[in-house]
Amino acid sequence: MEIDPGRVLDSLPAMVWTARPDGHIDFANRRWSDYTGLSADEAHGWEWQAAVNPQDLPTVLERWRSILASGEPGEMEARVRRFDGQYRWFLVQCNPLHGDAGHIIKWCGVATDVEDSRRAEDTLRARDVEARVVLDNIPTLVSLLTPTGTPELINRQILDYTGKTEEDLERWSGSDLVHPDDRPHAVESFKKGINSGDPFDIVYRMRRFDGAYRWFEARHRPLKDADGRVVRWCVSVNDIDERKRAEEALRESERYAKSIVDSIPGMIAAFTPDGELEFVNRQVIEFFGKTFEELKRWETSDMTHPEDLSRAVEYFTQSIASGEPFEDEVRARRFDGVYRWFQSRGFPLRDANGRIVRWYNLLIDIDERKRAEEALTARERNLNEIINTIPVLAWSARPDGSAEFFNQHYLHYVGASIGQSKDWLPATALSEYWDLTAAVHPADVDGLTAAWEAILASGQSGEAEARLRRFDGIYRWFLVRANPLRDEAGNIIKWYGVSIDIDDRKRAEEALRESERNFKLIINTIPGLVWSARPDGSAEFFNQHYLDYVGLSADQAQGWGWAVTVHPDDLGGLTATWQAIMASGKPGEAEARLRHLDGAYRWLLFRASPLRDASGNIVKWYGVNTDIDDRKRAEEALRESERNLKVMIDTIPALVWAASPESTTEFVSHHYLDYLGLPPERPQDWRWANYVHPDDLAGLTSWWRAGLASGKPGEAEARVRRSDGEYRWLLLRVNPLRDEHGNIVKWYGVDTDIDDRKRAETDLAREKHLLEMIASGSPLRDVLGALCEMVEEAGPGCYCDVHPIDWSGPSIEYSVAPSLPASYTDPIAGLSLNGDALPCAIAVRQKVQVVAEDMDTDPRWRHSSVRTHVLEHGLRSVWSTPIYAKDGRVLGTLCLYQRQPASPSPQHQSLIAHAAHLASIAIERSRTEAALRRSETMLAEGQQLSSTGSFSWRVDTDEVAFSEELCRIFEFDSNAVVTLEQVLARVHPEDVPLLSEQMARVRAGHGYLGYEIRLRMPDDRVKYLRTFGRVVRHQDGRVECLAAVQDVTERRVADEALNKARSELAHVARVTSLGALTASIAHEVNQPLSGIITNASTCLRMLAANPPNIDVAQETARRTIRDGNRAADVIARLRALFSKRTPRIEPIDLNEAAREVIALFWGDLQRSRVVLHTELADGLPLVGGDRIQLQQVIINLLRNGADAMSGVNNRPRRLLISTDLDEDHQIRLSIQDTGIGFGPDGIERLFEAFYTTKNDGMGIGLSVSRSIIEQHHGRLWAVANDGSGATFSFSIPEYIREENPLHETGILGELVESKSENSAGIS
């Protein structure tokens, strides 16, 4: 069957086409149409171009044309559009079909869909790019190789490093990439590695872009597939250049070290860190003559001296274990069997991390030194032995000062062993140089240390002293000497020392010093000022006393320093004397003042003595200064006193003279000359007789002659004319001065001016006369007249006039002037003192002295009539002086007149003052007497008018003086002397005991109590008298009782009448107020009644119960009885209150009364929770009074107290009832509470109000209580306590039989009166 080639071609699963030789497509199979969706026709010719991707078409056309032109098979790739519009890659392969002629007759082509493979390729490519990017960015050199070793990928780092292209690198084995020295090995290794298929590394130097080679390590690692075939090689190339170089350097250094080690003259061995011998240098081998292997076993060989081996092994082992270096000296055996000394030092070699990598042991030959040392030691041993035998304390020390050796003696001395002396510790303190310094005396350690250090520092021989303690504890002084031992080079290699016992010497020295000290002590103890000086006079020594005296230190006083303490005025003299003494070379003395420490200068006697040596030269001056101050001062004082005496005699205001035994005047004191008005130059010219009052001359002359004759001291009075011409009285006193033989050598006289005294005597006599006149009650005019005479006598030329003043005017009452005529004095009496017409008027009113020197010319009185009056009587000057009373009032004036113009001299003024004073006394006394007389008269009148008399009773003499009125009251004759007996006879017999009692009181020294007393007249009339008075104790001890006595008979009678009336009234009032009281009574009674009934009811019920409750019934019955009694008490008390009766005065024991009240009141107090205490005094006198009333008062006070405490809960409610005797011998009862008390102004008010408690019955008011007590002549008062509460007290007098009757109106009247004010008296 013929097969259509077209159908065959159509069935091929590829696009097949044919073309003509010119390229014109003439056939395309079905696959084309199917794929492109185009018809076969559309593929013909050049139509197919439409199916090709326009982007690829130009390439396709060009390729197609080039294939056509070449006539060779060809292929191309292009994207062809599928029917759905999608382009897919196709590989188009074209083959020419040659005709028989060989020419191309047709082109056949196949287009294969390569889209999928193309896509995979793209992906792969993309991957490769990605891998490359990654590798390029890895900071190391990386490449990938094919399984055969061809570079497939070379990263950028490699390219950068080498500066070559990938192509270059592919041919690396032939290039200069690898260092020529390394290339053969590298190429060889590479080939071998690739073939092996196993990982391999190659180290080689790789050329850098700049031509430098660096070491790299190329690490090849195969990448294998599942079958284990190598699919790729990964190569990383690492720069190991630095490592390589370090290794190289190490190798180099080791090489170098080895060469050094080998060349070191010492022996060196190296060990592994665990101690195995690793290496020895040449010298070791040569020295020991052993093989390395033999040397390895050194620990067990004889290479080390047997004596040293075990120690060497031990040191070595320890160091290996600890890592610490070791050092030792060992003997090593040389190849020839000789041992030599080596210093063996081992030390570790450590790497950077501190790990030990090797031990080195260095052996240095010290044999020579060692032997030298041994020889030295041997020598030293010998030396020590020698030294030990030396009988001194010897020692040696190292250059640093540390002790090395002490000889046997030393150790023996201190009692120490050799071992102790060796154990020194290097340090600086001596105590640590030598432990033996424990033996140095503590006080010397510092000194010795310093000395030793100084010696060490100087490097020179030296010595020091110190005490060393002997084994037995005794310290002895040693001289320690040290000497340095030097080597050839001059270096100190050792110190040798000896300690020499110098104790005896030291003790001798000490003793010497001690004795010197003692001597100094003695000198210092001498209580004189001791000194010594050098031959040149400069001071050398002062004892302590001297230094203390002047307050200088020894240094300050040295030389001439002491001179500052010499008084400046004396220094020159002292220095000169001292020079003279020194020049003389003999002992001498001088006086000078020396300043004491306190700054005062005192006189001292300086005594100096020379000390000479054997050849007679002065070596020293010794001196002692003695205090002669007192003597000097005495001398000076004597001189001074002599000087002063003359001055004094001239200065004292005494008239002194001296006369020869022959009565020649030798001396008249300056003052005397002044007195006489003589010039001082010529006292001898005085003729004393010229100055003596002629009346006295004869007497004086004879007295003087008698005195001269007798030779006895004497005195006389005479008037001597003063320089002013006045004769004055002098008292002349003379005294003879006798020599040792008793002969009179001189008369001394002192004349004293006694004129004032004489005058005073005269004045006094007159004054005395005047005062006598005043005292004796002479008439005032007489007294004043005598006064004027006295004034005129004392003041020659004066006329005196005294004017008492009548102040009613005022006017001059009269004038007393005995020396002036009546024509002068009479007109003066009655002159008015108003106005300024009289000098006296001014003096009186202005209280000044008025001086009119000359009435004639004084303008003040030119127009006054007094001027004429004065002048008419020949008077010119008038001095008027006021006379004052003690209280300053002006009593009068004292006028002095003179017949010539004059003003008062001081003597006049003194006289005036004196006279005015006397006048004052006289006038005042006169006036007082007048007033007294008047007052006496008035008193008498007053007494009469008031029926009050008075008396004085001299307690000691019982003298009685009655006033006139009292005589009248007693109906005595007023002129008769009243006696006590008369008085007692008049007193009512019943009251005589009272009077006697009162008199006894006064005699016993008590005060005077006012009292009432009755008189019974002879005709049986009774007078009631009330007395008041007091006891006067006079200064002379007299006791006088002064009293006023009032006749109260009329008042008493009236009072009694009134009381009687009031009593009646009271009873009426009480009855009328009974209604009001009934309610209160009912209350009081209803309380117990209520209890009674209730109790009785209960009792019945108890008894009626079945069974009867007997216990409670009995209890209620008892209570019934008690309440019944209570009611009865109330009634009894009320009855007492309401019965009209006269209070009964009876003697009452107040304690007993109080006890009864307490018993009555006890229950109430208990109910009020009040604790009652009693302090009732024993032996109290009885009181007189009404028992019931007093008990009422006590109840009232108790109740007040209890009530005052009803609100008190914070302290005990305590009542204290006490009785005692008070200061006035009255019996006192007090009730003290701890209640609320009362304010300061509340005390008295308490007694005003009618005081009751709110709710209680039987109390009566405080005012009533007070009335009761006052009726009993007592008093009731209240005081606030120091603490809380108040105390109410009353005191009443002791009972005296027939005492003043109490009047029956007393208390009850008061009670009723109070009732009318306050109806709550009984509640």
Partner 1 sequence: MNVTVPLVSVVDDDESVRESLPDLLRAFGFSAKAFASAEEFLASDIVGRTRCLILDVSMPGMTGPDLQRELERRGLPIPIVFITAHRDDTVRPRLLAQGAVECLFKPFSEAALQEAINIALSEP
Closer Cβ to partner 1, 1123 or 1310, answer by number: 1123
Interacting residue with partner 1 among 1112, 1176, 1221, 1236 (CB under 8 A):
1112
Contact between 1206 and partner 1 per CB under 8 A: yes
Which of 320, 334, 328 has its CA nearest to residue 277? 320
Rule CB under 8 A: is residue 1086 a binding residue for partner 1?
Answer: yes
CA dihedral 1068, 1073, 1074, 1076 (to 10 degrees): 180
Q: The sheet that has 25-28: what strands, in order across it? A: 25-28, 15-19, 104-113, 87-98, 74-81
List 845, 860, 1101, 1273, residue binding partner 1 (CB under 8 A): 1101
**1009 close to 999: Cβ distance less than 8 angstroms:** no
Q: Which of 733, 1122, 1155, 1303 binds partner 1 (CB under 8 A)?
A: 1122
Non-local (6+) Cβ contacts of 1081 within 8 A are 1130, 1134, 1322
* Residues in a beta bridge with 1220: 1228
| Closest separation in Å from C-beta 1169 to partner 1 | 10
For partner 1, the binding residue among 856, 1115, 1129, 1270 (CB under 8 A) is 1115
Nearest to partner 1 of 259, 1255 (CB atom): 1255
Residues 6+ apart with CB under 8 A from 631: 603
Residue 765 or 1079 with smaller CB distance to partner 1: 1079
Pairing of strands 1171-1176, 1214-1221: parallel
- Contact residue for partner 1 among 66, 137, 664, 1097 (CB under 8 A): 1097
Taking the complex as a whole, the smallest distance from the CB of residue 1133 to partner 1 amounts, in Å, to: 17
Contact stretch for partner 1 (CB under 8 A) within 1002-1010, 1090-1098, 1154-1162, 1265-1273: 1090-1098
Strand-pairing partners, residue 605, are: 591, 626
Residue 886 is a binding residue for partner 1 (CB under 8 A): no
Please list every residue from 1123 through 1152 that binds partner 1, using CB under 8 A: 1123, 1126
DSSP 779-829: -HHHHHHHHHHHHHHHSTTEEEEEEEEETTTTEE---B-TTS-HHHHGGGT
Contact range with partner 1 by CB under 8 A, out of 576-584, 597-605, 607-615, 1111-1119:
1111-1119
Secondary structure of 118-174 in HEC code, one letter for each residue: HHHHHHHHHHHHHHHHHHHHCCCEEEEECCCCCEEEECHHHHHHHCCCHHHHHCHHH
Q: Which residue, 497 or 1091, is less far from partner 1 as judged by CB?
A: 1091
Residue with the two structure tokens 């209150």: 1137
Restricted to residues 1154-1193, the positions that interact with partner 1 (CB under 8 A) are 1167
Cβ 1207 to partner 1, closest distance in Å? Answer: 8
Q: Is 1252 in the site for partner 1 (CB under 8 A)?
A: no
How would you classify residue 742: left for phi > 0, otherwise alpha for psi between -120 and 50, otherwise beta?
left
Shortest Å distance, C-beta 1168 to partner 1: 9
DSSP H or E run through 649: helix 629-651
- Tell me which stretch binds partner 1 (CB under 8 A): 306-314, 1098-1106, 1239-1247, 1298-1306: 1098-1106
Chain residues 438-467 in contact with partner 1, contact rule CB under 8 A:
none
Q: Which is nearer to partner 1, 909 or 1080 (CB)?
A: 1080
Shortest Å distance, C-beta 1261 to partner 1: 19
- The residue to which tokens 């009271």 are assigned: 1066
* Distance, CA of 1184 to CA of 1293 (rounded, Å): 7
- Kindly provide the b/e burial profile for residues 436-461, where b requires at least 16 CB atoms within 10 angstroms of the residue's own CB: bbebbbeebbeebbebbeebbeeeee
Per CB under 8 A, the list member of 1119, 1155, 1275, 1303 interacting with partner 1 is 1119
Indicate the residue among 702 and 1166 with the shorter CB distance to partner 1.
Answer: 1166
Taking Cα atoms as reference points, which of 241, 235, 233 lies closest to residue 207? 241
What is the distance between the alpha carbons of residues 1304 and 782, in angstroms, rounded to a whole number? 68
What is the C-alpha end-to-end distance of the chain, expressed in Å? 178
Distance of alpha carbon 84 from alpha carbon 38, whole angstroms: 11
1319 binds partner 1 (CB under 8 A): no
Of residues 1089, 1176, 1296, 1320, which one binds partner 1 by CB under 8 A? Answer: 1089
- Rounded CA separation 755/296 (Å): 153
- Interface segment toward partner 1; rule CB under 8 A; list 60-68, 87-95, 373-381, 1109-1117: 1109-1117
- Beta 213-224 vs 267-271: how paired, if at all? unpaired
- The secondary structure of 1004-1035 as a DSSP string is TTPPPPPEEEEEE-TTS-EEEEEEEEEEEE-T
CB of 1103 to partner 1, least distance (A): 11
Taking the complex as a whole, how short is the minimal distance between the CB of residue 1072 and partner 1, in angstroms? 21
**Rule CB under 8 A: is residue 1213 a binding residue for partner 1?**
no
Is the torsion defined by CA of 245, 251, 253, 255 positive or negative?
A: negative
From 1087, 1142, 1284, 1319, residue interacting with partner 1 (rule: CB under 8 A): 1087
Smallest gap, in angstroms, from Cβ of residue 969 to partner 1?
58
Please report, as residue ranges, which positions from 1053 to 1082 form the binding site for partner 1 (by CB under 8 A). 1079, 1082
We find the least distance from the C-beta atom of residue 1190 to partner 1, in angstroms, to be 27
Return the number of other C-beta atoms located less than 10 Å from residue 804's C-beta. Answer: 22
Note whether 512 binds partner 1 by CB under 8 A.
no
Number of residues that bind partner 1 (CB under 8 A): 29
Measured CA to CA, the distance from residue 107 to residue 19 in angstroms comes to 5
In whole angstroms, what is the distance from residue 911 CA to residue 795 CA?
Answer: 8
Task: Choose one: 302-310, 503-511, 590-598, 1110-1118; the region binding partner 1 (CB under 8 A).
Answer: 1110-1118
Question: Interface mask (CB under 8 A) for partner 1, residues 996-1035, using x and -?
Answer: ----------------------------------------
Contacting residue, 556, 1094, 1142, 1284, with partner 1 by CB under 8 A: 1094
SS3 percent helix, strand, coil of the chain, rounded to 5, is 45, 25, 30
Q: Report, in Å, the least distance between residue 1216 CB and partner 1.
A: 23
Q: How far is the CB of 1127 from partner 1 (least distance, A)?
A: 10
The smaller minimum CB distance to partner 1, of residues 1116 and 1200, is found at 1116
Residue 743 interacts with partner 1 (CB under 8 A)?
no
Could you say whether residue 1098 binds partner 1 (CB under 8 A)?
A: yes
Q: How far is the CB of 1041 from partner 1 (least distance, A)?
A: 55
Left, alpha or beta for 389 (phi > 0: left; psi -120 to 50: alpha)?
A: alpha
Q: What is the smallest separation between the CB atom of 1091 and partner 1, expressed in angstroms?
A: 3
Do 980 and 992 touch, CB atoms closer than 8 A?
Answer: no
User: Measuring CA to CA, how many Å separate 285 from each of 348, 533, 1106?
Assistant: 22, 93, 147
Q: What does the alpha-carbon distance between residue 161 and residue 215 come to, in Å, rounded to a whole number?
A: 13
Q: Which of 1090, 1125, 1281, 1318 binds partner 1 (CB under 8 A)?
A: 1090
Residues of this chain that interact with partner 1 (CB under 8 A) are 1079, 1082-1083, 1086-1095, 1097-1098, 1101-1102, 1105, 1112, 1115-1116, 1119, 1122-1123, 1126, 1167, 1206, 1254-1255
